[in-house]
Structure formats: C-alpha cells, structure tokens
Amino acid sequence: MADIIVKIINKSDNELPAYATAQAAGMDLRAHLETAITLQPLERTLVPTGLFMELPAGYEAQLRPRSGLAIKQGLTLLNTPGTIDADYRGEIKIIMINLSNEPQTIQPGDRIAQMIIAPFVQAKMEAVEMLTTTERGSGGFGHTGKS
C-alpha cells in the first residue's frame, strides 16, 4: 500500500489514532473530555477529539460509528459518515446520538468512532438538455424487485 501521510496535532491526553490490526480500514478516535457525559435517549452532542489534521489533497477522512457501541449501547454518529475535508484545519468533532431508550455515558478517552482515510475525485458539472437512455431509465427505489 502507498504511504499516505496525514499531518496531525494532538491536543488531548489520548494516544494518536492508529490501526488496531494489520488490515484494519479504520482508526478508532477517542473522546477528548474532562469529565464523563451522559446522553439521554435521542439526545445528541458534539464530542471533541483534540485532533487537528492536514490531509493530502485528494483525500478525505470519513467518520463512522463503531458497531460494538451501536449494538450494545445504541450510540452512533448522527451524520455518518461524517466528512473531514482536506482543507479543514479545525478540531475533529464527532456528533454522537443515543438511539437507545436508556441514558448512555461516554467516558474521557472512550473510543467513540472510527476514521477511514479515502481518496475522492472532484467532478466537473456539464449542464445538458437531455441524458442518455438506459434499460433502468428512471426506475429506482425497489424497481427491480426483492429477489
């Protein structure tokens, strides 16, 4: 795999994000908190990470939920996948929501999300009067059936 360098400033006491296994797609991100926070059912909040990044041009970071938190506690990311732009220099923050029917607590240093670094393309938009015809046409949203 190519070496992709991401510059990072860590203003938290947490360790730098890292891949946990040889082929892990995501690096876990930890909550940068002084005290624990509790989310009531359906409550959402912005959780700081203490991380500031500079991605190479042509790359984005995607913030995604952790499946364990989702299944065990109903904690997930409201805007998943969150998008970190290559030109963003602010703190990375995570929009957590409690989709369970009980209060859920996030402790300082908890791994609350995972981050995937991915390439993207920027497209040019070309305004036209007509689009080409296809077999699908405008069929969608279950048009091809279930099986």
The CB-of-49 to ligand DUT minimum distance in angstroms stands at 8
For residue 47, give the nearest of 24, 67, 63 by alpha carbon.
Answer: 63
Nearer to ligand DUT, 4 or 139 (CB): 4
Binds ligand DUT by CB under 6 A, chosen from 17, 50, 65, 82 = 82
Q: Does 26 bind ligand DUT (CB under 6 A)?
A: no
Q: Does 54 bind ligand DUT (CB under 6 A)?
A: no
The CB-of-96 to ligand DUT minimum distance in angstroms stands at 10
Nearer to ligand DUT, 84 or 97 (CB): 84
HEC string of the chain? CCCCCCEEEECCCCCCCCECCCCCCCEEEECCCCCCEEECCCCEEEEEEEEEEECCCCEEEEEECCHHHHHHHCEEECCCCEEECCCCCCEEEEEEEECCCCCEEECCCCEEEEEEEEECCCCCCCCCCCCCCCCCCCCCCCCCCCC
Instruction: Compute the C-alpha angle 108/110/113, nearest 5°.
Output: 130
Binds ligand DUT by CB under 6 A, chosen from 88, 108, 109, 111 = 88
The answer to whether 13 is annotated as binding is no
Nearer to ligand DUT, 104 or 112 (CB): 112
Nearer to ligand DUT, 3 or 76 (CB): 76
Cite the annotated binding site by residue number.
66-68, 79, 83-85
Cite the annotated binding site for substrate by residue number.
66-68, 79, 83-85
